[in-house]
Amino acid sequence: MEHSRRNIVLLFISQAIALTSTITIVTYSALVGKILTGSTSMATIPAAAGLVAAALTAYPASMLMKKYGRKKGFHLGGIFALLAGFLSFYGIYAEHFIIFTFGVMIHGVFQAFAAFYRFTAMEITAPHMHKQAVSYVLAGGLLAAFVAPSAAQFFEVNFYLPIPYAGTYILVMVLSFLTQFIIAFVKFPENIPEKQEEEIEQGPESFTQPFTQASTQISILNILKRPAFLCASLNAAGAYLIMSYVMTSSPMQIVEYCGFPLSAAASVIQWHVASMFLPAFFCGSLIARYGSVKILFSGMICLAASAAFAIQGLELINFYGSLVLLGLGWNFMFTAGTTLLQHAHNSSEKAQVQGLNDFVVYGLTAISTLSSGYMLEHIGWMNMNKLVFGVLGLLFMITLWYVIAERKTLGAIKA
């Protein structure tokens, strides 16, 4: 138990470091892209490239860690973070958009590996604490929310180049070294007993286990047929899609279109990120008590309120309100989706299912990020937020289908 708590704390710190790096990349990449290209539509290409890389890396990263262990995988991810920081910095220094984009893309590889911190949290805790463990590790983002803006500003001021924001990417390199240092102290179990992994606490969201395969390799089609996987993965991906879609374009809307200072955009993003991770201190307990499905629906309500708040006006209060609600909704849906996913696989299938899940999450998020700048330029901020309601409607129907399908299966078993 003592080792579990120590590992959770270390993973919490690792998550904070990784997200500080990611926040820096996401917050400034669109602004740098706009400077280097002069185009709003092209400004989000670097961030989208990072998410594409994360999507393509997710499955191989999961399988690699299954073979060689979590620690080696996380250390490898840290190396990519160092490379990403260097290439991004050099791209700004050389005023070369493609090099800068490639650097941000490489950072996506690091993000793919770091995303498995949350799954690792479940591996090092007792089954009845899985939901809380995931939530506590995700809470590292709250620390990142307050550290990232100040750290980025410090590096920008002290490592200034003719093109703004270059110094912030030196921060990414520094953080990569910190990641390696912290991960070195985490005690990763080499082999998780299958019996322990399969002793999953049953809740309202999981009525049956729709699989019996004991094989170590299953087809992707087999996974995609599972209602639990589709519900968990698409809700987590949908939450990330909406969050990235709105957040990526918000700094440009605030600074470029509304004329507010960059400090205002940074403050809005800071409060947004804080709201993304503050619920982590209690979201796991809510899921344990009420079940993943109810928390998913609560997250949908928050995201709908976020979009409604955004279309009411273009004052700073609208941006603050919308982005805070966006963060709350993301946390509820992403955490609930992560915990629900463990009901979509048995122990031998874990690496494949987790890898495919993150491929879906990052793949859809990449599409939304890539389209964000284009949509902002061509249909405007208000209409962008109106589209959120359509995505939420689809996620609501998918979740409702999952609940009905599982209850029918349970009824058939009892009969």
Domain boundaries, the chain: 2-184+217-414
131/342 Cα distance (integer angstroms):
10
284/397 Cα distance (integer angstroms):
24
Residue 138: closest CA among 330, 271, 300: 330
Say if residues 200 and 287 touch (Cβ distance below 8 Å): no
Confidence of residue 152 (pLDDT cuts 50, 70, 90): confident
| pLDDT tens digits, one per residue of 163-198 | 778 888 999 999 999 999 999 998 877 654 444 444
Check residue 413 and give its pLDDT.
62
Say if residues 124 and 7 touch (Cβ distance below 8 Å): yes
Kind plus residue range of the DSSP H or E element containing 300: helix 292-310
Give the count of beta carbons closer than 10 Å to the beta carbon of residue 171.
24
Q: Which residues, other chains included, contact 71 with Cβ-Cβ below 8 Å and sequence gap of 6+?
A: 183, 184, 186, 188
Name the pTM for this structure. 0.75
| CATH code assigned to 2-184+217-414 | 1.20.1250.20
* DSSP label of 256: I
Q: Is the pLDDT of residue 376 over 80?
A: yes
- Mean of the pLDDT values across residues 361-387? 87
Check residue 414 and give its pLDDT.
59
Average pLDDT taken over every residue of the chain: 85
Confidence of residue 304 (pLDDT cuts 50, 70, 90): very high
| pLDDT tens digits, one per residue of 99-112 | 999 999 999 999 99
- Mean of the pLDDT values across residues 67-79? 92
| pLDDT tens digits, one per residue of 387-399 | 999 999 999 999 9
108/366 Cα distance (integer angstroms):
10
303/296 Cα distance (integer angstroms):
11
Confidence of residue 135 (pLDDT cuts 50, 70, 90): confident
